[in-house]
Amino acid sequence: MPELPEVEALAGDLRGRLDGRAFARLMPLAISALKTYDPPVDALAGTLVDGVGRHGKFLDIEAGGLHLVIHLARGGWLRWHEAVPSKPPRPGGKSGLAMRVWLDDDSGFDLTEGGTQKRLAVYVVRRPAEVPGIARLGPDPLADAFTPDVLADILASAGRSQIKGVLRNQSVIAGIGNAYSDEILHVAKMSPYKPAASFGDADRATLYDAIGSTLRDAVGRSEGMAAADLKKEKKSGLRVHGRAGQDCPVCGDTIREVSFADSSLQYCPTCQTGGKPLADRRMSRLLK
């Protein structure tokens, strides 16, 4: 799933490609993807692109006083075409084509979604805050306003909640998902289960630095990359996430995993949990 660094890089890449361009035509191909009907998606046709931005993991293309907001969700992606194929698009198919967008110079892009869970979402709105997921977003961890005091307040309000869940909660902090929360906690050398309420001054400072450095490093690596290369870059840049069974790049211990119903987390026992493996609740339940 693209998270803050990938969406930031995608926005940067599109900003260059869409500068001075107008939308020619937009064709939703998966009915489930388009979440709004007023204004209609056709209202964007003929409008000049004014800018491309990001809100959390949402991509925002502003044109003609409207916003085309895209949430790629878990399996969604954007595929750029220097020349949009002339063959009429087939909805779904192997690539999971959800929407095709033509620009006024014959370039354009497809929004695709692999897998069976259809969560990719497209909105056409007058203001980004009309998208419920954007209205709910917590502070952006790369914004100047995200100070150590802001993080301290977040941890204080989260109480006994485990830090992994706090970092992933979009209404608490915007843009961090399953992958980068694993990475941040590995950098901070903290257990994903550490309760927010247990953070002292030193822990708070360590976590604050880990959030900033992890996200900024990832943005730096992805900057200037084309959409097509971003997925590969995300994978190769991760130190623990998705690497169960491999060696921790810091201490050499074997990276372990805890599985949940629809996700899993990875961590290094030596770096993060005093050498003790965390209980894998799903496994323990199965073994009972």
Minimal distance, residue 214 CB to Zn ion, in Å: 15
Q: What whole-number distance in Å separates Cα of residue 63 and Cα of residue 50?
A: 5
Q: What whole-number distance in Å separates Cα of residue 267 and Cα of residue 256?
A: 6
Minimal distance, residue 189 CB to Zn ion, in Å: 8
Q: What whole-number distance in Å separates Cα of residue 176 and Cα of residue 182?
A: 10
Nearer to Zn ion, 32 or 213 (CB): 213
Residue 173's closest CA among 149, 150, 198?
A: 150
Q: Which residues bind Zn ion (CB under 5 A)?
A: 248, 250-251, 253, 268, 270-271
Nearer to Zn ion, 12 or 237 (CB): 237
Minimal distance, residue 237 CB to Zn ion, in Å: 17
Give the three-class secondary structure for 273: coil
Nearer to Zn ion, 137 or 271 (CB): 271
Nearer to Zn ion, 151 or 271 (CB): 271
Minimal distance, residue 240 CB to Zn ion, in Å: 8
Residue 119's closest CA among 58, 41, 68, 168?
A: 58
Q: The dihedral of CA 205, 258, 247, 243: what is its sign?
A: negative
Minimal distance, residue 108 CB to Zn ion, in Å: 44
Nearer to Zn ion, 169 or 270 (CB): 270
Minimal distance, residue 188 CB to Zn ion, in Å: 12
Closest residue to Zn ion, judged by C-beta, is 248
Residue 195's closest CA among 246, 158, 148, 227?
A: 158
At residue 261's C-alpha, the angle toward residues 260 and 262, to 5°, is 95
Nearer to Zn ion, 93 or 275 (CB): 275
